[in-house]
Each structure stands twice: as structure tokens, then as C-alpha cells.
Structure 1
Amino acid sequence: KSSSILPSITNKSLMQIAEDLGMTVERRPIPEEELDTFEEAGACGTAAVISPISHLDDMDTGKVYNFGDKPGPWSTKLYNTLRGIQYGTVEDKHGWTTVVIE
């Protein structure tokens, strides 16, 4: 939870999908000392859906928090599920999509 994170539709959609997949979703400030417990980290947005973050650098202390050099299984599942809903290959349980016929 941060004033620098926009309340985007992509963000809200990914949080809903995470809950649908059985994950516990929390919106809260993350203390720096908790970063060592993270297996994955990502940033989301309309164009990218979710982009993995490989590491975060603490410029003050020189500490580096590593999350892997490729998307993790949860980031991949979230990405594939949202894109699948958008393309009609995954069931849209929430009525987010509308088929438009000309």
C-alpha cells in the first residue's frame, strides 16, 4: 500500500485473480526487513500486465534483495490467467469482458 501505486484496473484484476487462485491478498506497507522472505516480486500495468522484478537495491546500505532472474510460478500464473480472460481462453468468472460484434 503506497500513494505511489495507482489504483489501476490491472492491479485490481490481479488481486482478484490471486484470491481466486487461493492466495491471501494484502494491501499494506512492506517493511524492508520483510523483503528477504519474498520468493517473487513484480510490477503491474496495462501494457505489461505483470513484469517480474529480479532484484531491489537499497542504495543507502548496499543490500540487494534478489527474487530470481525470470518470472516465478505465481507471476506466470497471474499473467497467463489475466491474458487468458482477455483473450477468451480462460473463463471470465467476474464478467469483465464483453464480446463486441460489428
Structure 2
Amino acid sequence: MPDHSPDNAETDNTIAELKEKVAHLKKAVDSHAIVDQAIGLLVGVGQITPAEAWDVLREVSMNTNTKLREVAQTLIDWGLHRCAARRHRPRTRTPPHEQAPQQRVRAAPAPTV
């Protein structure tokens, strides 16, 4: 038979509250990681500082009435799609660092006067 004493009921309530707090903390950690990834993406692609990237995410979130985590996730999804598209796109020319030395075109020296 379950013990329904006041002490046991209080312990059950405390356990339930702690489980709820743990769930909220896990979600917050996940959200923080997603926002950090989005900031990193903006820093790399946009050539801006992390503080500026944070401001961009925050402003988009406020102006679109979208949760910050959702804005960050959308940006990450865009970045992943962009990277996948680049991997599957055929190259039209060989980058200079991959060309054999004889393939490299050198500019003619400037005429001297």
C-alpha cells in the first residue's frame, strides 16, 4: 500500500517540481547550443562580430514575432541546405590552388617606360 503521509506527499511534490525544472534546464541548454551555432554561422558567413550576430538574431526574432530558438534553427537549416547544395553542384573550373603549375595563368609584366 502506498504511504500517503504528509511527508511522503511533500517528497512526491518536490520530486515532481525537480523533474519539471530539469526538463526546463535541458530545453534551455539545447536552445543555447542552437543559438550559439547560429551566431557562429552569422559570424562566418556575414563577417560580423558575435555581438552583432546576437543583435541580428534578436532583432529578427522581435520583428517577426518568432521565438529566438526558432530563428536560430531556421538559420542553421539554411546553412546546412546551402552546404549540401554546394557539395552536389558541379565545378565549372578548377580552383587555383588545385591547378597544376603549367595551368596557372600569370599576368604579363607591366611595361616599363
Task: With the length of structure 1 as denominator, give the TM-score of the two structures.
Answer: 0.27
| Structure with greater Cα Rg | 2
**Relative to total residues, which structure has the larger strand share, 1 or 2?**
1
Task: With the length of structure 2 as denominator, give the TM-score of the two structures.
Answer: 0.25
